[in-house]
Structure 1
Amino acid sequence: MVFPNDWEGFSPAIMGRVMDYAVDLWHEHRIPILLSTVFILTFLRFYLRLNDAQSEKQKLVALPRALNKDEKKTTTTTTEKLDKVVVKKVSSSEGSSGDDEKKEGVKKKTAGPRRIKGDASKRVKKEGGEARKIQVLVFFSCLTGSTEKIAKQFAGAFEEALTKAKGEQTTFLSPQVLDLSEVDYDEYFISPPKTEGEEKVDYFYLILLPSFNIDSINDTFLEHLQETHHDFRIDTSPLAPILGYSVFGFGDREGWPTEEEGYCFQAKEVDKWMAKLSGRKRAYPLGMGDWKRDGKERLAEWKSGLVDVLGQIEQNGGLGEGVPGSGDPIESDDEELDDDGEVYDEGAEQNGKSKSSGDLGDLEDLGQIMAVSGNTGKKSSGPIAVDFTTEGKPKRKAAAPAVIKEMVPKGSPTYNSLTKQGYAIVGSHSGVKICRWTKSALRGRGSCYKYSFYGINSHQCMETTPSLSCSNKCVFCWRHGTNPVGTNWRWVVDPPDLIFNGVKENHYKKIKMMRGVPGVRAERFAEAMRIRHCALSLVGEPIFYPHINEFLGMLHKERISSFLVCNAQHPDQLAALQHVTQLYVSIDASNKESLRRIDRPLHRDFWERFNRCLDILRERRFQQRTVFRLTLVKDFNLEDEVEGYADLVQKGLPCFVEIKGVTYCGTSTSSSAGLTMQNVPFYNEVCDFVMALEKALKKRGLNYGIAAEHAHSCCILLASDRFHKEGKWHTRIDYERFFELLEERGPDGEFTPEEYMGPETPEWATWGRGGFDPRDQRVDRKGRPVEVS
């Protein structure tokens, strides 16, 4: 007998027929075979799994039989728990995944000492909508009892102010006054007090602290704060659950005249350590006052600011947003800052290079814009209704009326870029931003040249513009080339009252964001909440706005002075301009080719427009204070142009000439225009230029002299001898007299700059003395004091 697998007895022909038969059989029945195989394997898999589960369960059920009767209850409970574990295991093996972390089990105890951690900030309101109570704790220290009396009076006045501001339906409890020599520090300064009962309470700390030059409770309190911060068993921010804190220090300027010599030094230390322990919960700047002189006034200002802060906390549930470094317990001057005082974020800049962020193209590149705007496959029915020049314009056929659009639509690349730089966009074409000198003045670190030259407090100055668009693309523009450009107004026009109210509101919001910054002075913070000056020089061309006169009228009605800067490219608007406190024209070059290279104007007749504006200023020199603003750029307009600038001054005869070295913004737009750090002149080079210009003016018979300087801004002021009286320069402005003249004679009335000429220029601001405000302390980028010679 020959078996099929014994292939030796078969001839090749028989083997071939067998293989053909097997293939035919497979092709005829392959589908039923495959389905049957899959079904059998699936059935076996489920059968085996079910059999394993039943076996495990039978073993567990049989376990209690071997135990004593008195152990049955405990064993039954154990069996039920094990049964749950097994069922969970079976269900997990049947397809559930990702639940391993949720298995029941015993938590392992961590070795080592217990850490006390600060929880995240709690909201003032519960999820159910029930308001939480806010308890203000007023801590004080004293030796003679005077501070205790002050603290109790303050608590009463503070409660009255809160009730008056918020009404009877308030969530604030009556403030508690606590003596630091009697309280348990562990109860209040390692973690917030524990609330009893069902009522939830959030705490807000106020600390009134006089400074003593002897050992006192202050030293004990400071030592406790320091030890708490350095204790490894305690979280670095154990007081994070509190809503916020603020410190007020009492000092004696007779014994300690300055902060560096000890004035309120212990209050400053407490403020620093509280910032560390609370996780940057400084709700209001450190207040300081001399009780023998201005202590009551400073304390009243501090109280008023706190009432406003607590009102916001009650409404919003927290301190809100802050500027970079807000609430930082240490000085943040080592951060990289650009020329406008904003924090430079290299990572954000790199991320901004992605295509998704949207690159800003020049508005002249209309062909490229149209190519990517969705008009592919269609030819334009006519030329685009955009006019970039007013000279040599060819005749065109009538085109369909263009749709009026917003200048800076919300969500556009321009809007995103400007807001990222710190601007607040108001309406569709206006903006406001805090100047870095405003931040510096709030911290007592110096004001800008406007204070040295004209007596303007930088912390009371609002920098804004009613038009973000400009007709130039200057190589030294600080705005990174992100603002719109154009030669005529072709956008939606926002009403002036919308712009006026919007810029004020956003300016005050940005000032309030500074309250947690270390070093901000409470008295200047209080003053900053009343705008006294408006610099219309932020970005773009403010005179471009069609209702600029109405906007100026609103400023002057609230006795806010106005400095308006234009770029000498809109003579018609300049001729129609009514009174401003001081009128600037940017003179960036002394000849046509240099102006083309520096300002990169869009108008083809830019040089003719430039000269027409100079003629208008010459006519206005006895009606307004006029200023030529020269920005010096090395290798552009600094060398061999003194005589040309002298000719322009002779043509316009301004009241003042401001000469300032360019500030390099370090952007790619500047480098592509040929501007690098090598183009920034040194201050001694600016001084040499000014002295050469003064000499050239006198050679032409023009009586101008160097009146003032501000070395910190690399800025020097030349003034006409009209403002040199009795051997003294009078470059400052009598602002009250200006508003009186404006009310008496109207916005179109005639009065001369001499009629509102102010007091003499301070000695420290005159030529050769640096011009740094003696009230302030100059510091370097690391926050270290700099000696001003």
Structure 2
Amino acid sequence: MWEFLEGVFFYCYAFGSSLLVIGLSLLFLVFRSMIYPGESAEAEQSEAAQITTQRKQKKKNIIKIYYGTETGTAQTFAQKLYKDLLAVGPSNDVIQKPLCLSGVEVEHLAELVKRFDAESTNLVYIFLVSTHTDGQPPEKASWFCKSMEEHANDFRVPKTYLQNIKYTVFGLGNSDYGDNYNLVGKQLDQNIHELGAIRLVDLGLGNENTAESIHGSLFSDFDEWKNALIAKLMFYDEPRVSLVNKKRFVISSTTHKLSKVEVAKNGHVPNGVKKVPEEQLVESSSEDEETVVVTHGDQNSNKSAGLVDLEDIGTVMSSARKKILAEKSERANGILREMVTPEMRQILTKQGYKIIGSHSGVKLCRWTKAMLRGRGGCYKHTFYGIQSHQCMEATPSLACANKCTFCWRHNSHPVGTEWKWQMDDAEKIVKEGLANHYKMIKEFQGVPGVTKERIDEGLKARHCALSLVGEPIMYPQINKFIRLLHDEQVSTFLVTNAQFPDAIINLSPVTQLYVSVDASTKDSLKKIDRPLFKDFWERFLASLKALRDKGQRTVYRLTLVKSWNMDELENYAKLVDLGNPDFIEIKGVTYCGTSKANKLTMENVPWHEDVVHFSQQLCNMLKNYELACEHEHSNCILLANTRFKVDGEWHTWIDYAKFHTLVQKFYETGDESSFTASDYMVKTPNWAVYGSTERGFDPDETRWKRKNNTKDISGC
């Protein structure tokens, strides 16, 4: 018994002694660390030195940037990425200027790998490519994309063909194209990956559709992807976490590690040092970790637009995730975005637009300026008797459902197939539209040739050309908008692209309703208009049929593009029979200057004689239509239905006072059949009739010609 108790006592004594020794040792270490804090700092400094050494040994990046573009946006993004990489990239990296994919072969990419040592070099390929009509690549990138697909599907090509390559792809597209959305970027990314290349960052999808873009616009989508790419390139193959005291430090070419002691001495994070919240980091570890970053240089220095500060690079991916969640929340709660993004607003403003609210705009037409100076009016002055200096060019919707190749706005406007943005009230648009128009008129005071009388007349708008840009009929309050203009005694000339037949049916009377007929066959319309709707041809035909039932003046607007649509006379004649318009305007395409959005050149602009010849041939195929007017300056001819020829004289002009009386009666009764086009027509003056010596130029105006004798391409 005593032996058992003696054993228990011995073990308890030994255990207690051990606890005492451990406690004294811990107490000694605590006091020692308080008295000699430098050793902890030395450990951290050693860690920093180790990281710095590893950074110096980082692999060199050989970065090559390629783009495939149709409108020039992908090229612009490639150049922006190049400049930003030069600004923040490591000094030992080699960054190639962006190259078009037109001259690139897949074999070249693979062969280039053999020239570099994979142990010391990262070969990085960056591709920025847009998706064009029918999900096809841009013309100059077509061969490269096709070749890459063939290599990926060829059993004779090993799946390790591009194994030593790092790559990433950014696609430019529009989700309104459905299954074809960013199809080229997706396929290119997949094909490169199947050949063994390593994705540096995930495929970036830029969405031109602002309502569905994850980050609000194509530009913002690009910036987010670009910042993530830069972050990856900056820290590729580098240690991301320091394990000393379980504290993480972000290291970059403009930052250095800040030791715990430096923070302790100051009692706070010193000037120039940014403390990054843990939840904003790309990677996460223990909850008690924090990040301290110190940045050198002027924090207020000018930087490239969209270029993220290096100390903020770590927040990129987290920010993207937050925006995705926010986007889903917005849609669930019915929160809509603005149609015009800040980038788009900047572009349109630079082009001379006055943006109203979030989706409307006005601009001073060149013919308004010309008539203020007494230099003649536009073709509407000749054909229909408007006073060009009293005409406001506007739109309540900058968005359109087409991306026409000859768009004189260079496709800088939004596109969409339905209204999915914030909406401004019609009263606001009319009020601010007139105010902005009058402001631009006043700015012409003092311009040579401008008289006070013309300025005073210009400050009383009498007409509104709803043909500025976009598709005005998309605006949900279009009928209210039109009535407000009519209440101001402003006539309305509304142009639609024939993709919204129901909207045409429900449209209240306008002074004159236009439908753009840019081609006469399904294939040519698709080629020229590049519509977003899959059933664009059916919508087009339905729109023409809807025009037949409108009681007021209706017009087909044909734009002739030499070598594109001038050989389709018979098909055009069939379309005329379908809609039976009052008038047919036939106009040579307006050359808009250089734009990568289309392939048109001066060779595609027909001479006025070509337009006259086409018009005469079309008349020969039609019943009840004749050449009525011409405006040589605008390269435009008017065909009119013979019901507007009374006693041998043309009556294409409009009695605007009579129209306003008739339309107000309609608003009171709601009976659209209460008046027709013949109720407000008046005689066309002799100088405006086809065959006159004036050829459509008002003799009361002063003809002004350029000194050179080149083809007139100014248009209207």
Q: TM-score, normalised by structure 2?
A: 0.55
CA contact (8 A) 1:426 1:499 kept: yes
Q: Tell whether 2:445 aligns with 1:515.
A: yes
Q: Tell whether 2:581 aligns with 1:654.
A: yes
Distance of aligned partners of 1:399 and 1:566 in 2 relative to their CA distance in 1, 3 Å threshold:
closer
Q: Tell whether 2:458 aligns with 1:608.
A: no
In structure 1, distance between residues paired with 2:620 and 2:459: 44
SS of 1:562's partner is strand
Distance of aligned partners of 1:402 and 1:752 in 2 relative to their CA distance in 1, 3 Å threshold:
closer
Match of 1:764, as an amino acid? W
1:737 CA displacement? 1.0
CA contact (8 A) 1:382 1:399 kept: no
In structure 2, distance between residues paired with 1:592 and 1:352: 33
Name the residue aligned to 2:662.
Answer: 741
Name the residue aligned to 1:57.
Answer: none
Per-residue Cα deviation, 1:590-645 (whole angstroms, up to 9, x for no partner): 0000000000101110000001101101122xx1101000000111111x201110
Match of 1:676, as an amino acid? T
Distance of aligned partners of 1:646 and 1:523 in 2 relative to their CA distance in 1, 3 Å threshold:
same
Q: Tell whether 2:339 aligns with 1:407.
A: yes
CA contact (8 A) 2:391 2:464 kept: yes
CA contact (8 A) 1:489 1:544 kept: yes
Name the residue aligned to 1:764.
Answer: 687
Match of 1:577, as an amino acid? L
Distance of aligned partners of 1:758 and 1:635 in 2 relative to their CA distance in 1, 3 Å threshold:
same
Q: Tell whether 2:640 aligns with 1:683.
A: no
CA contact (8 A) 1:733 1:756 kept: no
Indicate which of 632, 641, 646 corresponds to 2:560.
632
CA contact (8 A) 1:585 1:628 kept: yes
Q: Tell whether 2:430 aligns with 1:500.
A: yes
Match of 2:676, as an amino acid? P
1:675 CA displacement? 1.2
Name the residue aligned to 1:22.
Answer: none
Q: Where does 1:194-233 land on structure 2 (aligned, <5 Å)?
A: none
SS of 1:740's partner is helix
Name the residue aligned to 2:706.
Answer: 781
Q: Where does 1:448-487 land on structure 2 (aligned, <5 Å)?
A: 448-487=378-417
1:401 CA displacement? 5.5
CA contact (8 A) 2:362 2:437 kept: yes
Match of 2:538, as an amino acid? E
Distance of aligned partners of 1:478 and 1:399 in 2 relative to their CA distance in 1, 3 Å threshold:
closer
Distance of aligned partners of 1:561 and 1:528 in 2 relative to their CA distance in 1, 3 Å threshold:
same
Name the residue aligned to 2:206.
Answer: 368
Match of 1:593, as an amino acid? D
Name the residue aligned to 1:713.
Answer: 634
Distance of aligned partners of 1:771 and 1:384 in 2 relative to their CA distance in 1, 3 Å threshold:
farther
Name the residue aligned to 1:581.
Answer: 511
CA contact (8 A) 1:704 1:718 kept: yes
In structure 1, distance between residues paired with 2:464 and 2:518: 23
In structure 1, distance between residues paired with 2:535 and 2:325: 21
Q: Where does 1:521-600 land on structure 2 (aligned, <5 Å)?
A: 521-600=451-530
Name the residue aligned to 2:568.
Answer: 641
Distance of aligned partners of 1:605 and 1:380 in 2 relative to their CA distance in 1, 3 Å threshold:
farther
SS of 1:668's partner is coil
1:355 CA displacement? 3.6
SS of 2:682's partner is coil
CA contact (8 A) 1:578 1:748 kept: no
Count of aligned residue pairs for this structure pair: 415
In structure 2, distance between residues paired with 1:523 and 1:452: 21
SS of 1:601's partner is coil
Q: Where does 1:108-507 land on structure 2 (aligned, <5 Å)?
A: 355=80, 363-364=174-175, 367-369=205-207, 372=222, 374=224, 377=317, 400=332, 403-409=335-341, 412-507=342-437
Per-residue Cα deviation, 1:506-555 (whole angstroms, up to 9, x for no partner): 00000011112111122111110100000000000000100000010101
1:783 CA displacement? 11
Name the residue aligned to 2:38.
Answer: none
Name the residue aligned to 2:44.
Answer: none
CA contact (8 A) 2:401 2:471 kept: yes
In structure 1, distance between residues paired with 2:560 and 2:423: 35
Match of 2:689, as an amino acid? T
Per-residue Cα deviation, 1:417-446 (whole angstroms, up to 9, x for no partner): 100011000000000000000010011111
In structure 2, distance between residues paired with 1:732 and 1:652: 21
Match of 1:642, as an amino acid? L
Distance of aligned partners of 1:783 and 1:634 in 2 relative to their CA distance in 1, 3 Å threshold:
closer
Name the residue aligned to 1:161.
Answer: none
In structure 1, distance between residues paired with 2:562 and 2:424: 40
Per-residue Cα deviation, 1:706-751 (whole angstroms, up to 9, x for no partner): 1111011111100111111000010011111111112223255323
1:480 CA displacement? 1.6
1:382 CA displacement? 13
Name the residue aligned to 1:9.
Answer: none
Match of 2:444, as an amino acid? M
1:362 CA displacement? 5.1
SS of 2:570's partner is helix
SS of 2:654's partner is coil
Q: Which has the higher strand share?
A: 2
SS of 2:206's partner is helix
Indicate which of 618, 640, 653 corresponds to 2:548.
618
Match of 1:414, as an amino acid? M
Match of 2:340, as an amino acid? V
In structure 2, distance between residues paired with 1:580 and 1:586: 16
Name the residue aligned to 1:44.
Answer: none
1:768 CA displacement? 1.7
CA contact (8 A) 1:661 1:686 kept: yes
Match of 1:475, as an amino acid? T
1:414 CA displacement? 0.7
In structure 2, distance between residues paired with 1:696 and 1:526: 46
Distance of aligned partners of 1:716 and 1:352 in 2 relative to their CA distance in 1, 3 Å threshold:
farther
In structure 2, distance between residues paired with 1:783 and 1:501: 42
CA contact (8 A) 2:386 2:463 kept: yes
CA contact (8 A) 1:579 1:748 kept: no
Match of 2:224, as an amino acid? G
In structure 2, distance between residues paired with 1:685 and 1:507: 36
SS of 1:578's partner is coil
Name the residue aligned to 2:621.
Answer: 696
1:499 CA displacement? 0.4
Q: TM-score, normalised by structure 1?
A: 0.50
CA contact (8 A) 2:517 2:556 kept: yes
CA contact (8 A) 2:173 2:206 kept: no
SS of 1:584's partner is strand
CA contact (8 A) 2:552 2:677 kept: no
SS of 2:673's partner is coil
SS of 1:631's partner is strand
5+ unaligned residues in a row in structure 1: which ranges?
1-349, 387-397
Per-residue Cα deviation, 1:566-604 (whole angstroms, up to 9, x for no partner): 000011211110010000000000000000000010111
In structure 2, distance between residues paired with 1:723 and 1:759: 9
Larger Rg: 1
Per-residue Cα deviation, 1:346-388 (whole angstroms, up to 9, x for no partner): xxxx9999749999965346623456353765898999999xx
